[in-house]
Amino acid sequence: MRSEAGKLAPMTSIAILGVTGRMGRALLHALAEQHDIRLTGALASPVSASLGQDVGELVGGQKTGIVVTSSVDEALANAEVAIDFTVHGAVRDHVAACVRNKRALVIGTTGLSEEALDLLRLAAADIPVLMSPNMSVGVNLLCRLAKIAAQTLGEEFDAEIVEMHHRHKLDAPSGTALRIGESVAQGRGIALADAGAFDRRGARQRGQIGFASLRGGDVVGEHTLVLAGNGESISLSHRATDRLTFARGALRAAQWLTGQPPGMYAMDDVIIDKSNT
Q: Is 169 a catalytic residue?
A: yes
pTM for this prediction: 0.78
Residue tagged active-site, from 63, 102, 147, 169: 169
Handedness of CA 84, 87, 93, 96 (dihedral sign): positive
Q: Sorting pLDDT into bands at 50, 70 and 90, what band is 10?
A: confident
Q: How far apart are CA 13 and CA 5, in angstroms?
A: 22
Q: Is 166 a catalytic residue?
A: no
Contacts of 44 (CB under 8 A, 6+ apart): 18, 19, 20, 24, 50, 51, 68, 69, 70
Q: What is the pLDDT of residue 268?
A: 87
Phi, psi of 58 (to 5 degrees): -65, -30
Q: Which domains does the chain have, with CATH numbers?
A: 12-131+243-272 (3.40.50.720), 137-240 (3.30.360.10)
Model confidence pLDDT, tens digit, residues 91-134: 999 999 999 999 999 998 877 888 999 999 999 999 999 998 88
Q: Sorting pLDDT into bands at 50, 70 and 90, what band is 275?
A: very low
Model confidence pLDDT, tens digit, residues 133-171: 889 889 989 999 999 999 999 999 999 999 999 999 988
Model confidence pLDDT, tens digit, residues 33-61: 888 999 999 999 999 999 999 999 998 88
Residue tagged active-site, from 94, 147, 165, 238: 165
Neighbours of 87 (CB within 10 A): 12
Distances (CA, A) of 159 to 26, 135, 185, 271: 33, 23, 10, 26
